[in-house]
Amino acid sequence: HTHTPTANFFLVGMVRYSGSTVGLGVACVVLGLVCLTERHRNLELETELRSIQKAKPSTPHLTVSVVEAASASLPTIFLITPTYPRPTQKVDLQRMCHTLKLVPSVHWILVEDTDAPTQLVANLVRKCDVPHTVVTQRTPDSMRRKICKKVSAKCPRVGEPEAHWTHPRGVVQRNRGLAVVRQLQPASGVVYFADDDNTYSLDVFAAMRDTKRVSVWTVGLSGDMRYEGPVVDPATGRVVRWHAGWEPARPYALDMAGFAVNAAEILARPEHGFTERSKRGHLESDFLTPIATKHEAEPKGFDASGKPTVMVWHTRTEKVNFKMEAHDKSDPSVEV
């Protein structure tokens, strides 16, 4: 390492040793790294670091199995994630894996939109070390977007796929995930439909865990708005309407990432699921209405004044451009 008078290096993070928490600067000494930032002004800290280095930590790290054992009393969250092959599939799933490793008592159900399991997903979940089930359910050709042959309301450009709203997406994959939950027959738990390109705060998992029937919350960057979701009457704590720009009168005008269902409700309805016959934007409403009405829904993440906290974001990974591949072809066997 080279140090200049103006150089400042900041390591941001936490390291846990025997129940006490110290800054990631501790890791610099423990791991044998050279910490140069403000070293001469932190002699007392360095003395403390050396003492910690000499003391053997009783619990240097927690594995997933330890976390699971410590949280055995918590209801399990069953996350159903439809996923399909694309250039950004691995990075989306990798980001989600890192989040789920921090969530106790979770079971990740991945449903691949393929005829057979892929090696990419198998490799990722094996390394992720989160309790999981991987199954496949290919979308029928009749439910896939067609290539536009002429311009219309569904086809903005010739030669490109139809608009995304022409067919409900993830229907058969989510239904396959529900079938897995029914096969597992959990004594308790919560079902959450977690798409692989969203971004999740740990708060959302804590909030949904005590769902009695249907819980709902705000989703950021959704519905072409800053946020979308329930509006709550602070006097009653009930949902009175939906903050949504498109058809706010829908029974459930929210994003797929904005609700969870008690697993008992799924087990009690063996044939219930999503349908490709749902009108545009009504997939969530058609699924939730038979379980609970808007007024029966349990809002999460609201303060006493009815102001929401955003705990999940409907982010989308930017489509990649491989035009420079023509100049120097990448090895197709490299997993990206």
Give yes or no: 271 in active site.
no
Distance (Å, whole) CA 297 – CA 9:
48
Asked if residue 299 lies in contact with residue 217, where contact means CB atoms within 8 angstroms, the answer is yes
- Catalytic one of 228, 265, 284, 298: 284
DSSP line for 75-95: PEEEEEEEE---TTHHHHHHH
| Interacting residues of 8 by C-beta distance below 8 A, sequence separation 6+ | 37, 38
DSSP line for 123-145: HHHHHH-S-EEEEE-PPPGGGSP
Interaxial angle between packed helices 119-128 and 89-100, expressed in degrees from 0 to 180 and rounded to the nearest 10: 20
Distance (Å, whole) CA 299 – CA 281:
21
Cα 195 to its chain centre, rounded Å, is 6
Nearest CA among 120, 59, 66 for reference residue 94: 120
Question: Which helix H or strand E contains 108, and what residues bound it?
Answer: strand 106-112
Beta partners for residue 98, in sequence order:
none
**Length reported for the chain:** 336
Distance (Å, whole) CA 125 – CA 110:
9
- The catalytic site residues sit at 284
